[in-house]
């Protein structure tokens, strides 16, 4: 058995009454863990290779904590805490970055993103949706929907209120990790699996989906859809939208370059290059007809927006008299044609 793994994590989670996992919390997930740590964990927990999620007991947690004291003090301390758990424990070993095959594996992949150990599109999430049960996220944690009514009654009989915050496959990120150096005005609007770079502010109407995020610093007052990554120094204005793979973008990976501004109520369905600006209220899809203007404001050609994908230093605007969508560049007509030819 190889001790060179892609990832390993020791977690505590929630199961329904049939013993199926609803969610898992990994306080300290590891990427490319040390071989000695993997070897000791394999010995104590019976790991024999491949991608596995192994349930373990509090006594096993204590034994592994002792074994790791001279190897990894942080993981040893974590396992000492896990040995006190009243909730089920699980160790998830990922020998390779393959598509997740269980709920604990799926949750580990989401944790790796939100802990900033991998960036969006940096981990295999194929087939993740069936592995994430749709649960009630409540004031008492995750509750199986089939058990919710009974749990609500039990709470009421005790004079308590079981508050349901959402019914969803994804929990909010901040119930699992709060990355350093960020501001999130409404934590319910950032899902676990989001990558929020240092210096990012997500305002009340901002939203960041899983497998998406920001390099930071930046201001997010709009929607960062699944699969979209926003470069450093870029701002998304209030009510603006980025078209992700789940919202019509297909296989095109939408991204926002560095130093960009997407105005309020605007939107993009193409990748933006660095230092692009999209005027407020203007939604650009891949097939939008755009009048390309040079540095003198002269028409170079009319083309589809997808042909401008990734090009730097562009201003997208709508002509207030004609209604035509225009793209202004600081480059001359010759430079623009050369850039477009190279891009194609």
Is 320 annotated as ligand-binding? yes
Among 250, 313, 321, 239, residue whose Cα is nearest residue 283: 239
Other beta carbons less than 10 A from residue 163's beta carbon: 12
Ramachandran angles phi, psi of 143, nearest 5°: -130, 130
238 is in an annotated binding site: yes
Q: Is 305 part of any known ligand binding site?
A: no
Contacts of 250 (CB under 8 A, 6+ apart): none
Q: Has 280 been labeled as part of a binding site?
A: yes
**Nearest CA-CA partner of 108 in 123, 121, 120, 119:** 123
CB 270, CB 286: distance < 8 Å:
yes
| Residue 139, annotated as binding a ligand | no
For residues 196 and 213, the answer to whether their CB atoms sit within 8 Å is yes
Three-class SS of 197-225 = CCCEEECCCCEECCCEEECCCEEECCEEC
Query: Cα(161)–Cα(164) distance, rounded to whole angstroms?
Result: 9
241 is annotated as contributing to ligand binding: yes
Task: Say whether 264 counts as a known binding-site residue.
Answer: yes
Report the distance separating Cα 265 and Cα 299, nearest Å. Answer: 27
Is 263 annotated to bind a ligand? Reply is no
Residue 319 is labelled as binding a ligand: yes
Residue 223 counted as an annotated binding residue: yes
Residue 23 annotated to the active site: no
Dist CA 207 CA 221 (whole Å):
8
C-alpha to C-alpha distance for 328 and 342, rounded to whole angstroms: 19
Selecting among 23, 63, 105, 221, the annotated active-site residue is 221
Is 304 annotated as belonging to a binding site? yes
Q: How many CB atoms lie within 10 A of CB 124?
A: 15
Going by the annotation, the residues of the binding site are 205, 223, 238, 241, 264, 279-280, 287, 304, 317-320
Q: Which residues are annotated as a binding site for succinyl-CoA?
A: 223, 238, 241, 264, 279-280, 287, 304, 317-320
* Binding site members for Mg(2+): 205
The catalytic residue positions are 221
């Amino acid at each position: 058995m190889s001790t060179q793994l892609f990832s390993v994590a020791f977690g505590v989670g929630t199961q329904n009454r049939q013993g199926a996992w609803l969610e898992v919390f990994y306080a300290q997930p590891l990427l490319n863990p040390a071989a000695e740590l993997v070897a000791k964990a394999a010995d104590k927990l019976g790991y024999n290779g491949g991608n596995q999620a192994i349930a373990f007991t509090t006594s096993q947690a204590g034994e592994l904590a002792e074994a790791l004291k001279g190897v990894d003090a942080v993981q040893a301390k974590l396992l000492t805490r896990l040995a006190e758990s009243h909730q089920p424990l699980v160790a998830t070993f990922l020998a390779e970055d393959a598509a997740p095959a269980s709920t604990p594996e799926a949750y580990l992949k989401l944790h790796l993103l939100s802990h900033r150990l991998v960036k969006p599109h940096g981990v295999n999430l194929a087939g993740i949706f069936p592995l994430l049960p749709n649960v009630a996220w409540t004031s008492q944690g995750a509750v199986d929907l089939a058990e919710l009514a009974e749990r609500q009654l039990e709470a009421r009989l005790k004079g308590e209120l079981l508050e349901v915050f959402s019914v969803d496959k994804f929990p909010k990120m901040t119930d699992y990790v709060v990355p350093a150096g960020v501001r999130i005005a409404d934590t319910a609007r950032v899902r676990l699996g989001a990558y929020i770079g240092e210096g990012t502010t997500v305002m009340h109407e901002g939203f960041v989906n899983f497998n998406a995020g920001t390099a930071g610093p930046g201001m997010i007052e709009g929607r960062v859809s699944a699969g979209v990554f926003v470069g450093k120094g870029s701002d998304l204005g209030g009510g603006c939208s980025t078209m992700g793979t789940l919202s019509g973008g297909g296989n095109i990976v939408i991204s926002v370059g560095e130093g960009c501004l997407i105005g309020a109520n605007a939107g993009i369905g193409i990748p933006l290059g660095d230092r692009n600006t999209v005027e407020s209220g203007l939604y650009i899809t891949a097939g939008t007809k755009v009048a390309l203007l040079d540095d003198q404001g002269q028409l170079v050609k009319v083309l589809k927006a997808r042909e401008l994908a990734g090009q730097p230093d562009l201003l997208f605007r709508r002509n207030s008299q004609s209604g035509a969508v225009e793209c202004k560049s600081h480059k001359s007509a010759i430079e623009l044609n050369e850039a477009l030819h190279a891009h194609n």
